[in-house]
Chains A and B, each alone.
Chain A
Amino acid sequence: MSKGVAITGMGIISAIGNNVAENFDALINQKKGITRVDNIKTIQREEIMVGEIKFTNDELIAQLGLPPENNYSRTAMLGVIAAKEAIAQAGISDIKKYKTGIVSGTSVGGMDMTEKYYYEYLTEKEPQKYIESHHAGDSTQKIAEQLGIEESFVTTISTACSSAANAIMLGARLIKSGKLDRVIVGGADCLSKFTINGFKTLMILSDTFNTPFDEDRKGLNLGEAAAYLVLESDKVVKAENKKILAYVKGYGNANDAFHQTASSDDGDGATLAMKKALKVANLNPSDIDYINAHGTATGNNDLSEGRAILRVFKDEMPEFSSTKAYTGHTLAAAGAIEAVYSVMALQENVIFPNLNFKTPMKEFNLIPQTILKKKDLNTVLSNSLGFGGNCSTVIYSKEA
C-alpha cells in the first residue's frame, strides 16, 4: 500500500491572482485573467490573448527588494514570490532545521533576457550580467538562495509543459526514499517572445479566449505563472505538528513516443500516465472524484487527452474541467498551478468550472463541468502533457 506524501504549504502567482487567496477568489467568481499582452512588445499583440501577470519587471524587483545590480530573469522573480508564499504558509521559520531541497520546472528559464539583449551581450557591458541567468537552472538557484537553502539538493526539470508535474513527482520520490525531509516543488515560466512566436508558428494560438474541450476551440492562450508546494516527510509532520493541506497520493509518467510536438490520436502516453498514477495510489478509476485536465484548447491536445481519459475512466467518468481558460497555458508551471488548484478543490470541496465551453466535441460525448459545483472531494487527478511526448499525471488526496 502506498502512502501519500504530505503537502504542508503552497504558493502561487498567476494571471488571476498574486497569491493563493486571490487565485481561489478568481476561480470561484469565474474571473479570467486573459488579456492582450502589455509587458512584452510584440507585433503579435493584436492577434493573440495571454494570461499575463501585470506587474512589470521593475515592480517585481521592488517587491522582492532586489538590488539594482541583480540579474534575475522574470521567471526567477515569479518563482521566488510563489516559493516564499509556500514557505510562509507551511509555517517554516528555520529552513535549515530539516534537510530541505528544491525541485523546479521551467522551460523558458532566462530566455526573456536573452531575447532582449541577444546581440547587446556582445558589446554592451550593462546587460552582460544576464548572460549567466539564461540557463534553466539559474531561476532555481536563485529561489534556493532567497529561501536560504544551502549545501543541498537543488535541481531543475524541463520536460516542456509537464515540467512542474514531474518536479512534484520527483519531490514525492525524494521524500519517500528518505533522501530529503522536506522539498519545495513546482515550476515557473514567464512569457517571452520566444514562446509567443514559437507557438504562433505552430498555429496553435487562439486569437480570442481559449475554450477547452469545445468543438470550435481555436487554440491556446499562453500564460505566465509560478507555483510551489511544500512536501514534508512524516517525521517532520509529526515533530512539528503540521497542518496537512492534502497528499500527493500517486504519480505516473510516460512518453507518447509518437511525435516531437503532437500527441497520438488515442493518447497512449496520457493513458499510460493516468494508469500508472492510479496504480501507485492504489486506487481505481471510480475512486477519482474530479479530473483537472490539461485541456489546453488546442485541437490536438483536447482530442487526444479526451480519448485517453475515456480509455481510463470508461463509463465511470467523474466531473472534469480545465482551468486553462482562467490562466492560459503556463507551460512548465502548469502542473504546479493546477496542483494548487487541485488542493484548493479538495480543501473547499468544490469543482472549478471549465469556462467558455459551448459545443461538445463531435468525436466523443465528453461534457466538462461548466458551472461551479459543490461536491465532497477525496481525490483529484491532474494531467500535464507536453512536447517531446511527455505525459504526467499526479493524484492528490485528502487522506494519506
Chain B
Amino acid sequence: MKKVYINSIASISPQKTFENASFLDDIIEYNETVISAFDPNYKEHIPPAAARRMAKGIKMGVVASKLAMKEAGIGTVDAIITGTGMGCMIDSEKFVSAIIDNNEQYLTPTSFIQSTHNTVAGQIALGMECKAYNFTYVHAAISFESALLDAKMQLENDEANNILVGGVEELGAHTTDVHRVINHIKPEAVTISEVLNSNTEGAVFSEGANFFVVSNDRKESSYAELLAVETYNTLEKDKVSEAIKSVLKENNLKPEDLDVVVLGNNGDVEFDGYYNQLSKNIFKNTKQVYYKHLVGENNTVSAFGVWLASKIIKTQQIPAMVNLNDIEATEPNIILCYNQYRGENHSLVLLKKC
C-alpha cells in the first residue's frame, strides 16, 4: 500500500488565506452572526464572461482548485473529488423561489443547471479539460472527509497518482434566514475573541473553499503525510475519546504522541461539550488549536482545519490567533483534527510530517 501526501493547499475563507505566502498574520476582525469569504480577485483567474454566470460557490471552488493545482505544479489530475454539504444554495434558492413566485411559469434553465451539487466539480473538470474520475460527496459535515477518504483509497491502491480534493460551501440568503429561525445561527453578533465564550446556541455561519492536491508521490514541497481519515455518522459524547484512541492505535500512536490537536469548537453552547471534554481529559497535556472563530461554521469548514494542520506542519509555526491553550508545541509533527456538527457526522483526520 502506498503512502499518501498532501502536496499543495489552497484556501478561500473569511480570512486572507488565498495568498498562501502568509499564515494568518493579518486577521480580519468580525463582529457578526454570518461571515462571507474574503474574496480574491476572481477575474484574475476566471474569464469575466464565465465569472458572471458563476455563483459564489462555483467561483470559490474553481479559483481555490486553480491555486492548489498551481502550487502542486501540475496541469491535470487523475481524479477530481469535491465535498459540499449544502451544495449550490444560491442557484437552488433562485430556482425554487422562481417556481413559487411565478407559479411555475416564465422559468429559465440557468439556475436549475447550476443548482446541482456536482456543478463545482463539473466546472473544474470543464476548465481543466479533465476527463478523469469526478465525484461529489454531499454528506453534511463529513462531505470533505468522504472525498478525502475516497482519494486516499485510490492513491494507496495506486489507482491514481495525483488527486484534487476540496470542500466548498456558499451562503444562500434564504437558507441563512431559515437557519436563523431554528437557532442554528447565533442570536447576536460576536467578535472572534468572544465566540467560544458567547454562551449562546448556534454558530457563526460562513462560506469558503479549501482545495488540496493529494498524491502518492512525496515531494520536497509536500506538506504532510495523510495517515488516517475516519468518519462516524453517530458518536455518543462519551465515546469520542475511545474512537480517537482506536484510530491512533491503528497507526501505532497514543494520545500523548500527538503534538497538536485541531478542534472544531464553534461556540455553540449545546455542542462544544464534545470538544471541551477532550480538552480537559485526553488532550489536557496536548497543544490545542481551533479555527472556527476566524472562519465561521459551514459543512466543509473542517477542510480548513486540515489546511491549518498542513500549514502548521510545513511551517513548524502556530499562529497565536489559533491557540486554545498555552501548551507549547516546539516541533509540531503529528496532528489530529477532530470535528462534528450538532453532535452528528464526526470526523478524524490524522497528519504527520513527511
Q: Pick the residue among B104, B116, B233 that contacts A152 (CB under 8 A).
A: B233
CA distance A389 to B156 in the complex (A): 26
- Is B56 engaged at the interface, CB distance under 8 Å to the other chain? no
The reply to whether the CB of B231 lies closer than 8 angstroms to some CB of chain A is yes
CB distance A137 to B140 under 8 Å?
Answer: yes
For residue A81, CB closer than 8 A to chain B, the reply is no
Smallest CB-CB A-B distances: 5 pairs: A388-B122, A198-B112, A154-B233, A158-B117, A137-B139
Q: Which of B11-19, B65-73, B125-133, B330-338 contacts A (4 or more CB under 8 A)?
A: B125-133
Binary B-proximity of A93-130 (CB < 8 A = 1, otherwise 0): 00000000010001101010011001101100000100
Judge whether A389 and B126 touch: CB under 8 Å: yes
Main secondary structure of the interface of A (DSSP, over half): mixed
Query: Which of A232-240, A250-258, A283-291 has 4 or more CB atoms under 8 Å from chain B?
Result: A250-258
Q: How far is the CA of A154 from the CA of B142 in the complex (A)?
A: 9
Known A118-B174, A135-B138, A177-B153: A256·B131 in contact at CB below 8 Å: yes
Known: A137-B140, A155-B139, A158-B118. A255 touches B182 (CB 8 A): no
- CB under 8 Å from chain B, chain A span 108-167: 109, 111, 114-115, 118-119, 121-122, 128, 131-132, 135-138, 140-141, 144, 149-160, 166
Given contacts A135-B86, A157-B136, A268-B131, contact A389 B125 (CB under 8 A): yes
Q: Within the complex, which residue of B104, B131, B142 is in contact with A255, where a contact is CB–CB below 8 Å?
A: B131
Which residues of chain B are near A268, meaning CB under 8 Å? Answer: 131
State whether A118 touches B139 (Cβ < 8 A). no
Which of A106, A155, A258, A261 interacts with B113 by CB under 8 Å?
A261
Q: How far is the CB of A339 from chain B (nearest CB, A)?
A: 18
Inter-chain contacts of A6 with B (CB < 8 A)? none
Find the B residue at minimum CB distance from A117.
Answer: B178
Q: In the complex, which residues 166-206 of chain B have their Cβ closer than 8 Å to any Cβ of chain A?
A: 174, 177-179, 181-182
| Interface membership of B216, Cβ < 8 A | no
A132 to B105, CA, bound (A): 28
Contact A118 B138 (CB under 8 A): no
Task: Contact check, B182 vs A131: say whether CB atoms are below 8 A apart.
Answer: yes
B323 at the interface (CB under 8 A from A): no
Docked-complex contact B181 and A121, CB < 8 angstroms: yes
**Any chain B CB within 8 A of the CB of A1?**
no
Contact A197 B104 (CB under 8 A): yes
CA distance A122 to B119 in the complex (A): 28
Residues in A whose Cβ lies below 8 Å from that of B117: 107, 136, 158-159
Q: Please, how many angstroms separate the alpha-carbon atoms of A296 and B97 in the complex?
A: 28
Residues of B contacting A256 with CB < 8 Å?
A: 131
Query: Is A383 among interface residues, defined by CB-CB distance under 8 A?
Result: no
Q: In the complex, what distance in Å separates the CA atom of A128 from the CA atom of B177?
A: 12
B28 CB-CB contact with A under 8 Å: no
CB contact between B139 and one of A140, A257, A386 (< 8 Å): that residue: A140
Known: A137-B138, A159-B136. A115 touches B100 (CB 8 A): yes
Question: A180-200: contact bitstring with B at CB < 8 Å (1 yes, 0 no)?
Answer: 000000000000011001101
* Further 13 A-B residue pairs, CB within 8 A, beyond A121-B178, A260-B114: A111-B96, A136-B87, A141-B140, A141-B233, A157-B138, A158-B118, A170-B135, A174-B153, A176-B157, A254-B131, A255-B130, A387-B122, A388-B118
**Residues 206-265 (chain A) with a chain B CB within 8 angstroms:** 253-261
Residues of A within 8 A of B182 (CB): 128, 131-132
B51-100 residues with Cβ-Cβ distance < 8 A to A are 80, 85-87, 92, 95-97, 99-100
B134: interface (CB < 8 Å): yes
Do the beta carbons of B137 and A157 come within 8 Å of each other? yes
Chain B residues near A43 (CB, 8 Å)?
103-105
Contacts A/B (CB < 8 Å), 12 sampled: A43-B105, A118-B97, A131-B179, A136-B117, A138-B140, A151-B235, A155-B146, A170-B150, A173-B153, A194-B99, A197-B107, A388-B136
A366-397 toward B: CB 8 Å interface, digit per residue (1/0)?
00000000000000000000111110000000
Report, as a range, how many residues of chain A touch the other chain. Answer: 35 or more
- Interface residues of chain A, those whose CB is within 8 Å of chain B, are 42-44, 102, 106-107, 109, 111, 114-115, 118-119, 121-122, 128, 131-132, 135-138, 140-141, 144, 149-160, 166, 170, 173-174, 176-177, 179, 193-194, 197-198, 200-202, 253-261, 268-269, 272, 386-390
- Asked whether A260 and B122 contact (CB < 8 A) given A159-B134, A202-B109, A255-B131, the answer is yes
B134 and A151: CB pair below 8 A? Answer: no
Contact A157–B135 (Cβ < 8 Å): yes
CA distance A256 to B108 in the complex (A): 24
Complexed CA–CA distance, A132 and B299 (Å): 13
Cβ-closest chain B residue relative to A176: B157
For the complex, what is the distance from the CA of A389 to the CA of B80, rounded to whole Å? 12
Q: A43 vs B104: C-alpha distance in the bound complex, in angstroms?
A: 7
Complex: A193 Cα to B95 Cα, angstroms: 10
Contact of A156 among B115, B119, B137 (CB under 8 A): B137
CB <8 Å contact, A387 and B95 = no
**A193-B104, A255-B80 known; A155+B125 contact, CB < 8 A:** no
* Pair A387/B113 contact, Cβ less than 8 Å: yes
Given A107-B117, A155-B139, A257-B126 in contact, is the A201-B131 Cβ separation under 8 Å?
no
CB distance from A125 to the nearest CB of B (A): 9
Once the chains bind, are B126 and A159 in contact (CB under 8 Å)?
no
Most A CB within 10 A of own CB, among B112, B143, B177, B345: B112
Q: What's the nearest-Cβ distance from chain B to residue A112, in Å?
A: 11
Chain B residues whose C-beta falls within 8 Å of the C-beta of A176 in the assembled complex: 157
Inside 8 A of B150's CB, which chain A residues have their CB? 170, 173
A387 to B136 alpha-carbon distance, docked (Å): 12
Is there contact, CB below 8 Å, between B122 and A135? no
Q: In the complex, A197 Cα to B103 Cα: how many Å? A: 11
- Are B131 and A118 in contact, with the CB atoms below 8 A? no
